[in-house]
Amino acid sequence: ETLGYAFLHDDKSLCEPAIARLVTAHTSALGGRIFAANSMAVRDIDLFGAAGVRVAANRGLAGIDGVLATACGVAAADPNTSTTLLIGDQSFLHDLSSVRIFADTMYTCPSLKVILINNAGGAIFSFLPIAQAHTLPDEKVNFQTEFEPLFGAPHAIDFSSIAKAFGLRFARCSTVSALRRALWSPEINFIEA
């Protein structure tokens, strides 16, 4: 994987484009499929994903609700094909009740992996025009007190505790090499990056 993406060679930190590239390349090598959450996950795959991987997603207007449950259904429909869910933290939190389904699915569909991109909130909303309003002279939007709590929805959720509560095999990855190792490990089915 050397297509000029410098972020794949910097092992000091892991960025969302690198996550999308590594996950799609890994899934393609397995002959598997990706289920992409709406929001940044599907956009990152579109912009930075490796070629040759099958990608499915919920319809755009369906929002971020039910993504984990849908991915479990996709995996259960064809348990012999590797399924990887690439999902953001907000999408995951909006479907937290489906973690039980994921935990049950890991016995019938052991090739299902969930890759959770934790950017501590709704990063996609930073692309909205209102996010830039605080930089305009005639706008009175306070980014920290008005925009960030409502749109960014920051959180301090410990996803390893959720994994432990449901018996998931968890890894937290903060470098390219750690993510590569976790993706190839058959022992891990829930990765936070």
List b or e across 153-164, with b for residues whose CB sees 16 or more CB atoms inside 10 angstroms: eeeeeebeebbe
* R_g of the chain computed on alpha carbons: 17
Predicted pLDDT of residue 124: 59
Predicted pLDDT of residue 134: 55
| Structure token pair of residue 76 | 């259960």
Kindly give the confidence (pLDDT) of every residue in the chain, 193 residues in length, as a single tens digit, with 9 standing for 90 and above: 444 566 666 676 788 999 999 999 999 999 999 999 987 888 899 999 999 899 999 876 566 779 999 999 999 999 999 999 999 998 899 899 999 999 998 888 898 999 999 987 655 566 565 555 555 555 565 556 665 555 656 778 999 999 999 999 999 999 999 999 999 999 999 999 9
- Report the interhelical angle of 99-108 vs 159-166 (nearest 10°): 50
Give the H/E segment covering residue 113.
strand 112-117
The DSSP letter of residue 136 is S
Predicted pLDDT of residue 120: 76
What strand order describes the sheet that includes 54-57?
A: 54-57, 33-36, 83-88, 112-117, 190-192, 170-172
